[in-house]
Amino acid sequence: MNTEEIRKKIRDGEHTGPTSGIAGDKVQANLAILPKEYAFDFLLFAIRNSKPVPIIEVLEAGEFVSRYAKKSDIRTDIPQYNIYKNGELTETVSDIKKYWRDDFVTFLIGCSFTFEQAILDAGISIKHIDEGRNVAMYKTNIETEPAGVFKGNTVVSMRPFKKSLVDKVTEITNEFPNMHGGPVHAGDPKEIGIRNIDKPDYGDSIEIAEDEVPVFWACGVTPQNVVLNAKPEILISHAPGHMFITDINNEEYKS
Amino acid sequence: MNTEEIRKKIRDGEHTGPTSGIAGDKVQANLAILPKEYAFDFLLFAIRNSKPVPIIEVLEAGEFVSRYAKKSDIRTDIPQYNIYKNGELTETVSDIKKYWRDDFVTFLIGCSFTFEQAILDAGISIKHIDEGRNVAMYKTNIETEPAGVFKGNTVVSMRPFKKSLVDKVTEITNEFPNMHGGPVHAGDPKEIGIRNIDKPDYGDSIEIAEDEVPVFWACGVTPQNVVLNAKPEILISHAPGHMFITDINNEEYKS
């Protein structure tokens, strides 16, 4: 199946689950939809914090077709959307056509699936994928650079690797500077303000073996977290793990 | 004199002329100030057209101190400002304090002085500088990618070089991808829609000798041109050649 067919299956309600592993080597994207009045602050926040918020595409007010996804419709082509009003999750839906407004600006943001694929391609396994779980994510004390109404700390994703592999996964992910890039930290979680590594703030916890080191990357949940802090009238995002599938090859983001 | 002292001289009206050559190896910046209602469209235009519009810094609504220029005041530290209303130049002033509004967003944009310095440092002379003239600039048929209300073609600057030096100046300027980068064209001006090379649209004309090739770079006049097409209520920019002097070293923009 090509990406256009996958998007159609999602649009038709034939695929409703997470998108991990269903789009081969194609870039999958995080979604953030905001009214235009927040768009400048958000875009500036993204530019100032490109590691956690790597912008793939901005669709202008009212636009819902991605130029990087043939015959796409951003209102229907994601399996599940979360709708937040005034900072609170109010609904999870599979179609946002009835919520759509002409002043909605859509941001597509890079996702760690891209660099994870590169790690897998290098013959290195990733524990949470092997175990069929969501990646563990944590709030940290790493400050972002604020912009307008948006401020808050970086959220990171964590993957445990054997000590001997840390340099290698660092090297591989450094090659994707516009897809979160290399790790922001490896080793003691306390150094970045994580008190209990067994209790992630998002996603599923994962065991860290004796000979493994927790490695942390800036995570695309950061912008969602920061936006919700500002309690905008409305934010629509993808439900975790339910991404927008583009026609771009992951390799195109390799530096 | 350090850059803080130069800015003070400008602020105090002791330096009122062009800034070319007065700030050594420090980055000089083009200025564009717009009401916040245009800020998202402009920032998106800049991201989509980073070659002609390389953003150095965005000062949020009402801010007038650059983080890249100690004790600076964007309202006074440029020798001459052009004020455009509804797309027309209405005034040239040395201080914009009385025009200042809390919804003004300031964009500092890269300028060719940075890569010109690198060319000079390589021992290659630049004709218009030797002759004490402004660089020749032309409207072209090279389309920019529109964003919101902003659309229009690329403006280029032209410098003639001996054929044997074209590869070298290309190589040098390629090293500044976030300061206009390498040439967009070298050779026949007609190929990029320039009908009369002797009549630049901005700046001063310059002779191209028999053994010289005209080399064209994307120019920071592009955003000004594109903004004026949209006839915003107000745009404040620097007068040509009268730039904002930062504390950043040109070398920091070398890739």
B235-255 tens-digit pLDDT: 999 998 899 999 999 999 998
Best probe of the B interface among A40, A42, A58, by most B CBs < 10 A, is A40
Q: How far is CA B133 from the centre of its chain?
A: 16
Strand arrangement of the beta sheet that strand B153-162 belongs to: B136-143, B153-162, B212-218, B185-186
- List, for residues B45-56, the tens digit of each pLDDT value: 999 999 999 999
Task: Determine the distance in angstroms separating the CA of B68 from the nearest CA of chain A, rounded to an integer.
Answer: 14
Helix axes A166-174 and A113-121, enclosed angle (nearest 10) = 130
Q: How far apart are CA B123 and CA A94, in angstroms?
A: 62
Q: How far apart are CA A76 and CA A61, in angstroms?
A: 17
Q: Chain B partners of A40 at a C-beta cutoff of 8 Å? A: 36, 39-40, 43, 105
Contact B60 A105 (CB under 8 A): no
Q: How far apart are CA A38 and CA A103, in angstroms?
A: 10
A 10 A CB-CB count for B17 gives 11
Q: How far apart are CA A110 and CA A250, in angstroms?
A: 10
Q: How far apart are CA B120 and CA B108, in angstroms?
A: 24
Q: Which of A155, A151, A141 is nearest to A202 (CA)?
A: A155
Q: How far apart are CA B246 and CA B231, in angstroms?
A: 29
Indicate the DSSP class of residue A18: -
Q: How many CA atoms lie within 13 A of B200 on its CB side?
A: 21
Task: For residue B170, give the 3-state DSSP assignment.
Answer: helix
Task: Determine the distance in angstroms separating the CA of B198 from the nearest CA of chain A, rounded to an integer.
Answer: 40
- Residue B98 backbone zone (phi > 0: left; psi -120 to 50: alpha; other: beta): alpha
Relative to beta strand B26-35, strand B234-238 is antiparallel
Q: Is A168's Cβ below 8 Å from some Cβ in B?
A: no
Q: How far apart are CA A238 and CA A243, in angstroms?
A: 6
Give the pLDDT of residue A1.
83
Q: Chain A partners of B55 at a C-beta cutoff of 8 Å? A: 47
Q: Take residue B134 and report the two structure tokens written for it.
A: 């402004």
Q: Take residue B232 and report the two structure tokens written for it.
A: 């915003």
What is the ipTM, given to two decimal places?
0.89
Q: Which of A153, A145, A157, A207 is nearest to A184 (CA)?
A: A157
Q: Is A148's Cβ below 8 Å from some Cβ in B?
A: yes
Q: Is B40's Cβ below 8 Å from some Cβ in A?
A: yes
Tokens 């900072």 -> residue: A87
Contact A148 B55 (CB under 8 A): no
Q: Is A43's Cβ below 8 Å from some Cβ in B?
A: yes
Is the predicted pLDDT of residue B1 greater than 90, yes or no?
no
Q: Take residue A107 and report the two structure tokens written for it.
A: 């941001």
A 10 A CB-CB count for B247 gives 17
Q: Chain A partners of B147 at a C-beta cutoff of 8 Å? A: 60
Contact B47 A60 (CB under 8 A): no
Please give the share of chain B, as a percent, with pLDDT higher than 70.
Answer: 100
Q: How far apart are CA A20 and CA A194, in angstroms?
A: 26
Tokens 């320039």 -> residue: B194
Fold designation for A3-15+26-111+230-253: PSTPO5379-like (3.40.1640)
Q: How many CA atoms lie within 13 A of B9 on its CB side?
A: 15
Q: How far apart are CA B46 and CA A46, in angstroms?
A: 14
Contact B47 A44 (CB under 8 A): no
Give the pLDDT of residue A21.
84
Contact A47 B39 (CB under 8 A): no
What are the angstrom distances between the C-alpha of A61 and each of A68, A105, A251, B161, B177? 17, 5, 29, 45, 29
Give the pLDDT of residue A122.
96
Q: Is A67's Cβ below 8 Å from some Cβ in B?
A: no
Q: Chain A partners of B105 at a C-beta cutoff of 8 Å? A: 40
What are the angstrom distances between the C-alpha of B162 and each of A92, A203, B213? 64, 61, 6
User: What is the CATH architecture assignment of A113-222?
Assistant: 2-Layer Sandwich (3.30)
Q: Is B55's Cβ below 8 Å from some Cβ in A?
A: yes
Give the pLDDT of residue A20.
86
- List, for residues B99-119, the tens digit of each pLDDT value: 999 999 999 999 999 999 999
Q: Which of B36, B44, B60 sits opposite A43 (nearest CB)?
A: B44
Q: Is B199's Cβ below 8 Å from some Cβ in A?
A: no
What would the mean pLDDT of A181-204 be, rounded to a whole number? 96
Can you name the residues that pair with B88 across neighbouring β-strands?
B85
Cβ atoms of B72 and B65 closer than 8 Å: yes
Task: Return the residue of B nearest to A37 by Cα.
Answer: B37
- List, for residues B57-74, the tens digit of each pLDDT value: 999 999 999 999 999 999
Sequence spans of domains, chain B = 3-111+225-253, 113-222
Torsion angles phi and psi, residue A216, rounded to 5: -115, 135
Size of interface A-B (CB pairs under 8 A): 29
Give the pLDDT of residue B24.
86
Give the pLDDT of residue B98.
96
B90 — pLDDT class (breaks 50, 70, 90): very high
What would the mean pLDDT of A36-45 be, rounded to a whole number? 98
Task: For residue B150, give the 3-state DSSP assignment.
Answer: strand
DSSP output for A26-70: EEEEEEEEEEGGGHHHHHHHHHHTTTT--EEEEEPTT----TTST
Q: Is B44's Cβ below 8 Å from some Cβ in A?
A: yes
Fold designation for B3-111+225-253: PSTPO5379-like (3.40.1640)
**Which residues 91-110 in chain A show a CB within 8 A of chain B?**
105
Task: For residue B203, give the 3-state DSSP assignment.
Answer: coil
What value, to the nearest 5°, has the Cα angle with vertex A60 and ends A56 and A66?
Answer: 50
Q: Chain B partners of A44 at a C-beta cutoff of 8 Å? A: 43, 58, 60
A 10 A CB-CB count for B132 gives 9
Q: Which of A55, A61, A148 sits opposite B60 (nearest CB)?
A: A148
| Residue A99, amino acid | Y
What would the mean pLDDT of A204-219 be, rounded to a whole number? 96
Q: Chain A partners of B44 at a C-beta cutoff of 8 Å? A: 43, 58, 60
Cβ atoms of B157 and B135 closer than 8 Å: yes
Average per-residue pLDDT in chain B? 96
What would the mean pLDDT of B155-171 be, rounded to a whole number? 97
Task: Return the residue of B nearest to A146 by Cα.
Answer: B60
Best probe of the A interface among B36, B40, B145, by most A CBs < 10 A, is B40
